[in-house]
Amino acid sequence: VRDIAALIDHLGLGKGEYDLGGFSLGARTAVHGCTTGVFAPRRLVIAGMGVSGLADWKRRAGFFTRVIDEFDTITRDDPAWLSRQFLKSQGVDRTAARLLLGAFEDLDLATLANITCPALVISGNRDEDNGSAQELAALLADATYAEIPGGHLDSATKPELGEGIVRFLTA
């Protein structure tokens, strides 16, 4: 959150003078910054994120901590295999990732009321990694929900994600 706030400040952007968005952990970061008043975007894109990814973060972080801790012993039949492969393919620094996982707390869903800008909540139709994106959209004052093809990891590679974001930001 501090790094993004520093960039916004460096660029001299004021309240409502920029759009902000993120996918998965990036979406979580954007939501946290908006609920605390650190960010004040014109429009907000929340991709690959649902209610439990915000309110039940400790459970989600526990899953990834296990992936990091057991990285070399996770087998193909383990539900953590795809996450392990993703971390490996992206060259993720596991020490840094482990520290990042502990940097967030569960979000009090009542603080979502602090997000008053138009928001797009967009998620894959098979993405259940962070809970219900549709439920998250319903909790926001001015949100649009959009569903695209895919699960959590592969929906980020679909052209429909970019197309949906562009439609929202240019409407």
N residues, the chain = 171
* Per-residue pLDDT of the chain in tens (171 residues, 90 and over written 9): 999 999 999 999 999 999 999 999 999 999 999 999 999 999 999 999 999 999 998 988 999 999 999 999 999 999 999 999 999 999 999 999 999 888 888 999 999 999 999 999 999 999 999 999 999 999 999 999 999 999 998 999 999 999 999 999 999
Tokens 């940097």 belong to residue: 103
Predicted model pTM: 0.91
Return the pLDDT at 16: 98
Return the pLDDT at 40: 98
Domain range annotation of the chain: 2-54+106-170, 57-104
**Which residue from 64, 61, 84, 82 is spatially nearest to 72, judged by alpha carbons?**
84
Q: Which fold has domain 2-54+106-170?
A: Rossmann fold (3.40.50)
**d(Cα 42, Cα 72) in Å, to the nearest integer?**
43
